[in-house]
């Protein structure tokens, strides 16, 4: 079995101006990842986040999306570019995307 890596993305439920993100935007993200990698998972519980930028404190309600893929340079490159796309789609200063190696049994 090849080495695996998990990519986790925290997506906000509201834009920075407080407008709710349309459900279709989340659906598009999930569909795009499923088409590219064959599978994607999403937690429906709300993850609450607090963060600070230039002295202003922001509160986010977030959804966690995760994908387990082969640990390749091509997949990493995809997610680096995908993060920039997500920042634009969700009108965010940043999108929290983490990655770590996993072992599936």
Name the residue ranges covered by the structural domains of the chain: 4-99
Residue-wise pLDDT for 8-24, tens only, equals 999 999 987 889 999 99
Q: Which helix (H) or strand (E) holds 8?
A: strand 4-12
pLDDT value for 30: 97
Nearest Cα to 33, choosing from 7, 14, 12? 7
**Given this structure, which CATH class describes domain 4-99?**
alpha beta
Residue-wise pLDDT for 48-90, tens only, equals 998 888 898 888 999 999 999 999 999 999 999 999 999 999 9
Nearest Cα to 10, choosing from 90, 70, 88, 65? 65
pTM assigned to the model: 0.90
Distance from C-alpha of 63 to C-alpha of 66, rounded to nearest angstrom? 10
Q: Coil, strand, or helix at residue 49? A: strand
Confidence of residue 1 (pLDDT cuts 50, 70, 90): low
Average pLDDT of the segment spanning 22-30: 95
């Amino acid at each position: 079995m090849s080495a695996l890596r998990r990519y986790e993305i925290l997506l906000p439920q509201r834009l920075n101006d407080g407008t709710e993100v349309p459900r279709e935007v989340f659906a598009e993200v999930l569909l795009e990842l499923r088409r590219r990698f064959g599978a994607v998972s999403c937690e429906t519980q709300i993850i609450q986040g607090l963060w600070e930028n230039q002295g202003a404190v922001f509160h986010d309600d977030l959804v966690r999306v995760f994908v387990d893929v082969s640990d390749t340079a091509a997949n990493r490159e995809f997610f680096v570019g995908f993060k920039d796309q997500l920042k634009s789609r969700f009108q965010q200063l940043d999108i929290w995307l983490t990655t770590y190696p996993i072992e599936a049994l």
